[in-house]
A and B are shown apart, each in its own frame.
Chain A
Amino acid sequence: MEFEPIIGLEVHAQLLTRSKIFCGCSTEFGGEPNARTCPVCLGLPGVLPALNREAVSMAVKVALALNCRINRVSVFARKNYFYPDLPKGYQISQYDLPLAEDGEVELLSGERSKAGNIVNYRKKKFGIIRLHLEEDAGKSIHDTGEDTYVNLNRSGVPLIEIVSQPDFRSSQEAYDFLFSLRRLLIYLEVNDGNMEEGSLRCDANVSVRPKGSEKFGTKTEIKNLNSFRFLQKALDYEIQRQIEDLRAGRTVFQETRLWDPEREQTFVMRTKEEAHDYRYFPEPDLPPLEVSGAWSEEIRATIVELPEAKRERLCATFGISDADALLICASRELADYYETAARENRNPVAIARWLTGDFLAFWKRDAIPLSAVRVRPGHLAEMVALIDSGEISGKIAKQIFEEIWTSGEAPAVAAQRLGVRQISDRTALEQIVQSVIANNQKQVAEYQGGRTKLLGFFVGEVMKQTKGQANPQILNELLKKNLG
């Protein structure tokens, strides 16, 4: 029997506000432990939360970009549980009336080939159940010694939780959704996309069912999938585990599991019986939140061109491939960089190749901000123009690129300095060709008598005179023409 997986994702994203969601403490990452705390985020008695306007604004922005319906009135609720990183004994979240509901995103999603490459990109639609606001908990450290250590600097950092529909039918689709969501959040400047530092976190719900069946199977939840690699690996493992259980006649139990990156498998964290009963109730310390039509329109007006729209526009305008466009649109600034370069050159496809090839490789290697990259868009455009006019070969271009990456010179200047600029000027080359022919009449006669191998001799002579800078293609062509 063939099985198909059903996957839904829950994504938590920290909002890039300056202050926390309910108090004026800084949200900055790191720093001295517990030194970004106050009575509110420490959960001391007698304090009241004061909702951060910017956190609401950012959450609405994301909700609009995900085509959600913004609830004019939404309600904060207490989620009760005991954990040392939650000083109040409850988390302020939203429950039966979230900020936004019923969204949908369209994005490019591919399939993984046997060789592990992503192929067959297609536009797919995925639903969003809800988006709500909540506060982050503090951070517990368990790995040192006997005890747990708690740092409450993160307590009260604003979060949005985005819950997708169970619309993904492969780990790749879930991966592509998270990739595209992360990119969207970065474009909107509401989240830094840093999964390592935990500013973007992901849980997944997974079940499998016989292909063609309407009914969902029993699902498990996998927590803390904090990198793209872990997400895909954990999903693939869990899907396979459930299929094997069902094939062997075993039951899949509803439980929460964790991914163990070392052993590369998921393991049970808690069973259904141990599941938390959070006893949600409306937060008495906060009146309901009203997002008026006017406010949400004001926020909508600040939304920039979104990555998918940008990608489509770049493909249509410059004729570049989906795969290249996906890489280029990874960030707004990279897309802007590309557009500037592409507008200065007649060969935007070649610019895209360079950008997604050597450029990205060097940029990644150096891990510097784009603004610090010394190769500017104009340089890239100029280099492609030099290749296209035959002044430098593709191979030389790679050398020049490496050179200008450190020197910041214009490519033509670097080519000149390195003496690698090719002579592609036909008139100039033809003059040299003719003088070589005039000075080597003996070889000319032999060549014309059938010793065509002598072409190499003439090439060598011209190269000697041009210090190896003659464009080989044009030179060959000119020699053949002039030798008759």
Chain B
Amino acid sequence: MAVTIEEVRHIANLANLEFSEEELRTFIVQFSNILDHIEQLRQVNTETIEPTYHAVVTEINSENSRRDNTRASFPQQVALMNAPDVEQGQFRVPKVIK
């Protein structure tokens, strides 16, 4: 299945990633291979088979879900420890809304 460079660029864009023209071309081939593989899988008749959403067999239920109890949180300075830029207890980031 053919994938265009624009499509690859769009996906990269959505993932906030930047690539060289050459890298993008590599992805065209890889994406196409993946899609071909999926296309092959689609040949199998799965009409009567329930979709699998997870590899784990057990579902989350009323027994195994977490009880609503609070636990100690990080102190502010620990929470901010890895932040490149901090002001007054907040993460400072470039302006997102003009």
Contacts and interface: CB of A to CB of B under 8 A. Distances in A.
B46 interface: no
Interface in B76-98: 76, 79-80, 87-97
Contacts of B90: 33-34, 141, 149-151
A356 interface: no
Contact of A140 (B70, B75, B96): B96
Contacts of B91: 34, 84, 149-152
B73 A73 contact: no
B62 interface: yes
Given A38-B71, A55-B68, A286 B60 contact: yes
Contacts of A246: none
Interface stretch (A2-10, A276-284, A334-342): A276-284
Interface residues on A, range: 35 or more
Contacts of A149: 87-88, 90-93
A277 B97 CA distance: 19
Chain A interface SS verdict (over half): loop
Nearest to B50: A73
Given A35-B76, A42-B79, A290-B59, A148 B53 contact: no
A450 B50 CA distance: 100
Contacts, number: 137
Contacts of A291: 61-62
B76 A80 contact: no
A289 B71 CA distance: 23
Contact of A34 (B10, B61, B80): B80
Contacts of B66: 19, 24, 50-53
Interface of B: 10, 14, 16, 53-54, 56, 58-62, 65-71, 73-76, 79-80, 87-97
18 contacts: A24-B71, A32-B76, A33-B89, A34-B90, A37-B74, A37-B79, A51-B60, A52-B65, A56-B65, A73-B59, A82-B16, A97-B53, A142-B95, A149-B93, A151-B89, A152-B91, A288-B60, A291-B62
Interface of A: 17-19, 23-26, 32-38, 42, 50-56, 73, 75, 80, 82-84, 97, 140-142, 146-152, 277, 279, 282, 284, 286-292, 295, 298
**Among all A-B residue pairs, the 5 with the closest Cβ atoms:** A24-B71, A54-B68, A290-B59, A53-B65, A149-B90
